[in-house]
Amino acid sequence: MIAGVVAAADRPALAGTFGTAAGTASPRDCGGVKTSWLRAVGLAAFMLLASYLLFVLVPNNLLSYLSLHASPRNRDLLVSLWWVLAFGFGCWLFVRLQQTKAR
């Protein structure tokens, strides 16, 4: 046996369980937090809309505006900066939406 690796016979069978010993929890019960389907669909729709705004609509409008009002080097720099900021904000928003109110 390699150090740190537990043999299959030494660990309890976890097949079919969702974090409880009896295996009675439903897939919607993640760590004791129940989520309704309506809330999950609403959060998914909100994240889809936010992603469309952050990664499609705003960069498209930014490119169309800056192509007439800025040099190509400055335009590329500003659009790249927008992508970095939008990606960071999108990641933060995704993690924030996954958190529950009962901490």
pLDDT tens for 23-50 read 555 555 555 556 788 888 999 999 999 9
**Residue 33 pairs with which residues in a beta bridge?**
30
Q: Tokens 């897939």 appear where?
A: 27
State the pLDDT at residue 17: 47
Helix or strand run (H / E) with residue 74: helix 72-98
pLDDT digits (tens, 9 = 90+) for 52-93: 999 999 999 999 999 999 999 999 999 999 999 999 999 999
Element (H, E) at 34: strand 33-34
Q: If you average pLDDT over every residue of the chain, what do you get?
A: 78
Three-state DSSP class for 100?
A: coil
Quote the pTM value. Answer: 0.60
69/23 Cα distance (integer angstroms): 62
DSSP-derived 3-state class of residue 60: helix
Q: Can you tell me the mean pLDDT for 5-27?
A: 52
